[in-house]
Amino acid sequence: MSSQRHFLGIEGMVRADLEALLSRAREHKRSIEAGFRKTPLAGRVVANLFFEDSTRTRSSFEIAAKMLGAEVLNWSTRGSSVSKGETLLDTVRNIEAMGPLAIVIRHTSSGAPALCARHVRCAVVNAGDGMHEHPSQALLDALTLMEKLGGLDGRKVAIVGDVLHSRVARSNLHCLIKLGAQVVLCGPPTLMPSGIEALGARVTYDLTAALEGADAVMLLRIQLERQGESMFPSAREYARSYGLDAARAARLEEGAVVMHPGPINRGVELAPDVADGPKSVILYQVTNGVAVRMAILEACA
C-alpha cells in the first residue's frame, strides 16, 4: 500500500493535505449535526492499539470509526502478551494478520508508529508517540481555531507550558505554521527545546509578552511522566509565572480563545474559572476531534 495512507505526523504533510482533511472534517461535522449518516467503512475494522493511557483520543477514534460504520477493536497493554515479552512489531503484525483497515497507535516511544508503518500493509495512524507528534490533535485544534477565529492566516497563537515534552506542541507548531499562523512558544527555559525557533516559532519566557496580541492561547500540561527529574520549582510557583489565571485571561484580546488538549491540571497551567469560562473552547476541541478523526480514518481506505 502507498505510504500516503498512513497518518504519522504533520511534519511530512503539505498545506493542501491538511486543508483537504479539514474540509472533509467540516463535511462530517455537518452530516453529524444534520443527523445524516453514511457508513463507508461498514464491514471494516479499525484497531486501536494504546500502549499509553488516553481518555479523549481513544474514545474519539472509537466514536469516529463507529460513525463511519466500522467495527472497533480496543486493545490495550494491560491484559495483553506485552507482559509476556512480546515485542511491539510482533504485536502489531499479529493484529494486522486479523485484517484491519487501519491500526491506530499510541506509544510512549517517539517513532513507534512510523516503525510499525514500515512493517505492515494496513494503514497506520499516529495517536501520539512519545514527545514526537500528535497529529490528529493538531488537526482538531486547527479546525477549532478556523471556526472560532474565522481563519488562521496571520493569526497569533501562543502555546504555553511544557513545550519540551509535548507532542501536542510539536504537531501544532508544524500545522499552524503550514496554515499561515504565527506561533509564539512560552514556558520556563528548562522546558523549552533549544533551537525550536528554527521551525518557525518565536520563543519567549515571559507570559505577558506571549499573551500580548494573541488570538488564541493553548495551555500545555507539565508532562511529569516524561521528566527524569523535576524541571521546575513547584506547581505553585509554576502557576504564578506561567499559569493562565482570571486576571491574565481578562487582559486577552476581545474574541481570543483559550485552548487545552487535556488532561488539565486545574490550578497549575490553567485556573478552573478560566477553563470553564467564556473564552474557553476546550470542550469544543473535543467535539471537533470526532469529525477530524472521521476524515483521517476515511482517508485510510
Identify the sign of the CA torsion 65, 41, 106, 4.
Answer: negative
Contact 301, 7 (CB under 8 A): no
Minimum distance, C-beta of residue 261 to ligand NCD, in the bound complex (Å):
4
Q: Which is nearer to ligand NCD, 168 or 214 (CB)?
A: 168
CB of 223 to ligand NCD, least distance (A): 6
SS (H, E, C) 231-271: CCCCHHHHHHHHCECHHHHHCCCCCCEEECCCCCCECCCEC
The residue among 55 and 234 lying less far from ligand NCD, judged by its C-beta, is 55
Q: Taking the complex as a whole, how short is the minimal distance between the CB of residue 57 and ligand NCD, in angstroms?
A: 4
74: left (phi over 0), alpha (psi -120 to 50) or beta: beta
Cis peptide before 263 (omega within 30 of 0): yes
**Nearer to ligand NCD among residue 44 and residue 46 (C-beta):** 46
Nearer to ligand NCD by Cβ, of 9 and 261: the residue is 261
Question: Whole-number minimum distance, CB 262 to ligand NCD, in Å?
Answer: 5
Q: Which is nearer to ligand NCD, 57 or 144 (CB)?
A: 57
Residue closer to ligand NCD, measured from CB, 182 or 285? 285
Residues that bind ligand NCD (CB under 6 A): 56-57, 128, 134, 137, 167-168, 221, 223, 261-262
CB of 86 to ligand NCD, least distance (A): 24
Least separation in angstroms between CB 1 and ligand NCD: 26
For residue 178, the number of C-alpha atoms closer than 13 Å in the C-beta half-sphere is 20
As given in the structure block, the three cell numbers for residue 111 are: 517513532
* Cβ–Cβ under 8 Å, residues 132 and 154: no
Per-residue buried b or exposed e for 1-37, using 16+ beta carbons within 10 Å of the residue's own CB: eeeebbbbbbeebeeeebeebbebbbebbeeeeeeee
By beta-carbon proximity to ligand NCD, the closer residue of 188 and 261 is 261
| Residues 52 and 76 sit within 8 Å (Cβ to Cβ) | no
Please report, as a single letter, which amino acid is at residue 68. L
Q: Which one-letter amino acid corresponds to residue 131?
A: M
Smallest separation (angstroms) from ligand NCD to the CB of 213 = 26
Closest CB to ligand NCD among residues 44, 164: 164
Distance CA 210, CA 156 (A): 10
Q: At its nearest, how many Å lie between ligand NCD and the CB of residue 41?
A: 23
62, 121, 128 from 97: Cα distances, Å? 20, 10, 23
CB distance 124 to 8 below 8 Å:
yes
